[in-house]
Amino acid sequence: MNTAHFFAVDLGATSGRTIIGTINGSALDMRELTRFSNPIIETNGHFYWDIYALFNEIIKGLKLVAKEGIHIESIGIDTWGVDFVFIGKDGELLRQPYCYRDIHTVGAPDKFFERISRERVYELTGIQIMNFNSLYQLDTIRRNNSSVLPITDKVVFMPDALSYMLTGEIVTEYTIASTSQMLNPRTKKFDKELLDAIGMREEQFGRFVYPGTRIGTLNESVRKQTGLGEIPVIAVAGHDTASAVAAVPADNERFAYLSSGTWSLMGVELNEPIINKESFDMNFTNEGGVDGTVRFLKNICGMWLLECCRREWAISNDYSYPELIEAAMKAPAFASLVNPDSPCFANPPSMIKAIQEYCSRTGQAVPETHGEITRCIFESLALRYKQVFSYLQRISPFPIEKLHVIGGGSKNNVLNQFTANAVGVEVVAGPSEATAVGNIMLQAKASGMVEGIAGMRKLIRSSVSVSTFTPAEQSLWEKGYETYLKVVRENI
């Protein structure tokens, strides 16, 4: 097989896309078919995702494939982590899934720790404690006596739920399940002690599969809607970050990665999890990767801050991204800094006001203009990256020589240079569509076109262009970091 086409569905927390990936010999080419928004829906005091709208967007992309007469080898879906769908005994979805930003889980971990300690939960899972992890979502739903639980037959994570809607087959893919804080990274199975604590059973989840497994083929309904045949649906790395990390164009293991988008996720790729007091104290996570690897990483609230500000600014004046960057570079350096991971930035009514109030509370200059706020966000992110990078340098079993920035944020040259200045090592930026690249390469692996993660990365290196950023202004950024540490409230 010299040339093959693959259909990738890449769903992020703010937008989604369908992409055709073509492998021709040793080269990968990608073409975006559709792009669409993925808005959070607020109703009756809760935040939801519209899974039916997402499914409809997948159907639209598949219809384009049929219209253009493209023969695709397979389909793969990746999404954000932790969220899930309830399915009844009749196979119907029981309601729209909660969004992880819903406030019903505020304080949920502490309630769970009244039964099983924080230390024990981390020992069993190696997953960082975050209030929206699936474990705490399910426990909150149970404590609230939700009407959905008694009639639930299966709990299905988001990419697996969409695959189910395409094929009728229910699976639980390893990398997406690993985000739930219910999976033991040593056994790679759901932990019975944790399931018992929330009244769940292992059989309430789908058939357990690993990246590269065939789930099934398009069901009759989808075939009628799209005009396609019995196309296989492949379980790629269902967690978008796992697919993105698989696309890092590294030539050895001595690297850290920064998956930069709505969320930033910084970590290293390991063969075994790191679960000890140091990783617990620093709240690092051990999530599933490709070919049995572990993604040892920490979540950082990434471009979410700027995305929210841009939505507010668009109401009165729609500033373009280049205009915001130009304005940011004219603003004074290190005038205002925030901890991007402060709870006040999780989902505030106004992100602009939240940033301004944070700066006021910490005795800093309050940013007012678009440029001042944008610079505050960029510098704060770069300094938070330095903080987390320093933790990785302490705990990694190998010296970290480079930081690979992948995802949409890799196109932000200003932030990339700020990051290089802050962390003090070479930053290699690209590919920007890393998640889709990883998704496609895992489908190619399933088809036998490439072997293992090394083969995937070799093909990626020959197909994508990257940009390199060398550290500069080191003393200035060290002073900025000292200021950052003084004003942030949460140093972990």
* Tens-digit pLDDT profile for residues 426-483: 999 999 999 999 999 999 999 999 998 999 999 999 999 999 999 999 999 999 999 9
Q: What confidence tens digit (pLDDT) does each residue in 410-440 have?
A: 999 999 999 999 999 999 999 999 999 999 9
Residue 214 exposed, middle or buried by CB count within 10 Å (0-12, 13-18, 19+)? middle
At 464 the pLDDT is 92
Six token digits for residue 68: 């253009």
The residue type found at 201 is R
- Residues forming the active site: 240
Has residue 490 got a pLDDT over 60? no
Mean pLDDT of 235-259: 96
Cα-based angle 194, 200, 201 (whole degrees, multiple of 5): 95
User: CB neighbours (10 Å) of residue 39?
Assistant: 12
Alpha-helix residue ranges (DSSP H) falling in 398-449: 413-423, 434-447
Residue 204 exposed, middle or buried by CB count within 10 Å (0-12, 13-18, 19+)? middle
Say what percent of the chain tops pLDDT 70: 99
Say what percent of the chain tops pLDDT 90: 93
How far apart are the C-alpha atoms of 142 and 119, rounded to whole Å? Answer: 22
Alpha-helix residue ranges (DSSP H) falling in 98-170: 108-112, 118-125, 134-143, 158-167
The secondary element (H helix, E strand) that includes residue 29 is: strand 27-37
How far apart are the C-alpha atoms of 107 and 258, rounded to whole Å? Answer: 28
pTM for the predicted model, two decimal places: 0.90
Q: What confidence tens digit (pLDDT) does each residue in 109-154 have?
A: 999 999 999 999 999 999 999 999 999 999 999 999 999 999 999 9
At 1 the pLDDT is 52
Has residue 51 got a pLDDT over 90? yes
How far apart are the C-alpha atoms of 56 and 11, rounded to whole Å? Answer: 13
At 155 the pLDDT is 98
At 238 the pLDDT is 98
At 38 the pLDDT is 97
Phi-psi region of 285 (alpha: psi -120 to 50; beta: other; left: phi over 0): beta
Mean pLDDT of 60-89: 98
Mean pLDDT of 8-12: 96
Strand partners, 429: 405, 467
The residue type found at 88 is G
